[in-house]
Amino acid sequence: MNNSNYYVAIMAGGIGSRFWPQSRTGYPKQFLDILNTGKSLIQWTFERYASFVPKENIYVVTAVEYSHIVAEQLPDIPVENIIAEPSKKNTAPCVALIAFKLLQKNPNAALVVAPSDHMIVDTETFRNITLKALDFVCKTNSFVTLGIQPTYPNTGYGYIQHEMTDSGNGIFKVKTFTEKPNLELAKTFIASGDFLWNGGIFVWQAKDVVKAFEMYDPETFDLFDAEKQLFNTSEEIAAIDRIYPLCKNVSIDIAIMEKAQNVYVIPSSFGWSDLGTWTSAYDNLEKDHLGNALATENVIVIDASKCMVSAPANKLLLLQGLDDFIIVDTPDALMICKKEKEQAIKEYVAEVKRTKGEQYL
How far, CA to CA in Å, does 85 sit from each of 12, 42, 100, 111, 224?
10, 17, 15, 19, 14
Please state the pTM of the whole predicted model. Answer: 0.92
Sheet holding 325-329, edge to edge: 293-295, 308-310, 325-329, 334-338
Q: Which residues contact 51 (CB under 8 A, 6 or more apart)?
A: 123, 127
CB 27 within 8 A of CB 38: no
Radius of gyration of the chain (CA): 21
CB 352 within 8 A of CB 344: no
Q: Is 231 helix (H, G, I), strand (E, B) or coil?
A: coil
For 349, the enclosing helix (H) or strand (E) is helix 345-356
Q: pLDDT confidence of 2, banded at 50, 70, 90?
A: low
Q: Domains (ranges, CATH) in the chain?
A: 6-273 (3.90.550.10), 286-356 (no CATH)
For 307, phi then psi, to 5°, come to -100, 150
The conformation of residue 322, written as its DSSP 8-state character, comes to -
What's the confidence (pLDDT) of residue 98? 96
The predicted model gives 96-112 an average pLDDT of 95
d(CA 318, CA 298): 9
The predicted model gives 92-103 an average pLDDT of 96
pLDDT by residue (tens digit) across 171-191? 999 988 888 878 888 888 888
Dihedral of alpha carbons 344, 350, 354, 355, sign: positive
Question: Across all residues in the chain, what is the average pLDDT?
Answer: 92
For 9, phi then psi, to 5°, come to -115, 115
Q: pLDDT confidence of 1, banded at 50, 70, 90?
A: very low
